């Protein structure tokens, strides 16, 4: 079990905002050594413990959110309950790894004499399990092995445009599994094996990075979006009238050139402002300065939506984008009969999931907007791109997070979405991080977070090039899941019948 725990720690330390992304190429070696010749039940237990520990460490920033920030703002549960919820979260998101450990323990004996085939088998079923982690009402994709590559491995990350995160997960698991075989085969110079392997992978990444096009453009073809990053505390959002937020927003809007397109964060206002004096004043500012403002606020009609919509000289638009991937327990309650006891975790309100992947056409812009943790799920940005978006906007409220690791992990998801679809992605966040990312995952410009600059707001002038190309991933989505599933089944048949 020591090897399992060691592997879990190394895996977590490879994640964005942690220690070093290259650790991911060796982090699973202790895991696969510990999984050698295990029974199915023991394999399931070890894989579950590994997943539990690495995911809890990866999401350590959730602990102060649940145990301090949320109780202080919402006053809906005591601090110790937040600690309990954090440690209950781990088993829920680690459950899929039980399946991998069981299947691996059941069939690895088929490939005892064929390390490459065993590595392919392990990689294929790990990839299948990773796909299962994102589906259903409790699906959650943060902390994927592929996320580690977004932490300084830009070259290899370009494979996202071909096969998405699952392709990278497959490669990472296969490399780790084969290295574990080589490690056990050697009785000396094992440290040299690890160092040389990481160095070779770094070389491959460097070579692949050299093929990334150098950004070049003429101002003639560039479009501009202004990001208005508010730095509003959650206490103010929940307990001050919307006029206080409007005071900050209106002052910032008057600094932005007339005729501009402006994007504000998710839930800039915490109530439906369309028929209020706040909404009327925002409309007036848009008319006076000919601004087009994409702003987030909830709406309550036949359905409750966490949404964004445009405000311009004609008022509020009829079209809107409503968040598709709602956050479990916070924005909706999955299986109320089972999890009804956790209703106290509700933030502003329970929402209905959006069903439309709306494209906002504003002058030359065709904007696909996603909200907050929508960016954790590849399918949202992919569907927006398929619908004609030439730039993706992520509007989010990361004001709950005091630890920069959370902000870096969230931004890394926008980096992944940019590469997958070869689109510029502009993230606009309350408190930060707000940035513009090019289609190859490079951060072109980044605004200081509220921790880095004490100001009520920060304005960013973000240029981007509208894109219309279609990547294999945009066109075919998670095709690599089906490849991995079929490969795994084929290897089981091969191992049981032929080998």
Q: What positions carry a catalytic annotation?
A: 266, 323, 372
Q: Is the Cα torsion angle 339, 11, 25, 41 positive or negative in sign?
A: negative
Q: Residues 157, 168: contact at Cβ < 8 Å?
A: yes
Token pair of 289, please? 């300065």
Contact 432, 452 (CB under 8 A): yes
């Amino acid at each position: 079990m020591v090897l399992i725990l060691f592997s879990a720690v190394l895996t977590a330390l490879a994640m964005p905002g942690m220690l070093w992304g290259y650790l991911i190429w060796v982090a699973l070696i202790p895991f696969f050594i510990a999984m050698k010749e295990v029974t199915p039940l023991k394999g399931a237990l070890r894989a579950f413990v590994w997943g539990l520990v690495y995911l809890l460490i990866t999401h350590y920033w959730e602990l102060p959110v649940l145990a301090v920030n949320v109780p202080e703002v919402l006053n809906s549960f005591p601090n110790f309950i937040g600690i309990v919820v954090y440690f209950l979260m781990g088993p829920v998101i680690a459950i899929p790894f039980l399946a991998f450990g069981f299947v691996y323990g059941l069939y690895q004996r088929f490939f005892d004499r064929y390390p490459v085939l065993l590595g392919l088998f392990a990689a294929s079923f790990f990839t299948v399990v990773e796909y299962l982690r994102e589906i259903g009402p409790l699906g959650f994709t943060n902390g994927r092995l592929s996320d580690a590559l977004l932490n300084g491995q830009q070259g290899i990350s370009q494979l996202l445009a071909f096969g998405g995160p699952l392709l990278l997960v497959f490669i990472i698991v296969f490399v780790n599994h084969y290295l574990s075989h080589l490690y056990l085969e050697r009785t000396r110079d094992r440290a040299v094996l690890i160092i040389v392997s990481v160095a070779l992978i770094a070389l491959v990444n460097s070579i692949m990075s050299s093929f990334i096009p150098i950004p070049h453009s003429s101002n003639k073809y560039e479009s501009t979006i202004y990001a208005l990053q508010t730095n509003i505390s959650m206490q103010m959002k929940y307990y001050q009238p919307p006029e206080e937020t409007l005071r900050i927003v209106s002052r910032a809007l008057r600094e932005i050139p007339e005729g501009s397109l402006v994007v504000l964060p998710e839930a800039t206002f915490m109530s439906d402002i369309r028929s209020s004096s706040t909404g009327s004043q925002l409309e007036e500012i848009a008319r006076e300065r000919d601004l087009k403002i994409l702003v987030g606020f909830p709406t309550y009609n036949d359905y409750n939506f966490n949404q964004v919509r445009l405000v311009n000289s004609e008022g509020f638009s009829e079209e809107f984008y409503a968040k598709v991937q709602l956050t479990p327990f916070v924005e909706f309650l999955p299986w109320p009969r089972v999890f009804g006891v956790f209703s106290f975790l509700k933030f502003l309100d329970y929402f209905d999931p959006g069903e439309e992947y709306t494209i906002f056409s504003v002058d030359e812009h065709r904007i696909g907007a996603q909200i907050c943790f929508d960016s954790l799920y590849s399918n949202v940005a992919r569907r927006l791109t398929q619908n004609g978006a030439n730039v993706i906007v992520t509007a989010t409220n990361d004001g709950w997070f005091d630890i920069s690791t959370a902000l870096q992990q969230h931004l890394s998801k926008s980096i992944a979405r940019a590469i997958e679809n070869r689109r510029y992605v502009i993230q606009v966040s309350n408190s930060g991080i707000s940035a513009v990312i090019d289609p190859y995952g490079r951060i072109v410009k980044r605004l200081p977070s509220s921790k880095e600059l004490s100001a009520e707001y920060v304005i960013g002038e973000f240029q981007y090039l509208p894109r219309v190309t279609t990547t294999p991933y945009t066109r075919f989505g998670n095709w690599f899941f089906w490849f991995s599933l079929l490969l795994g089944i084929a290897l089981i048949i091969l191992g049981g019948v032929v080998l």
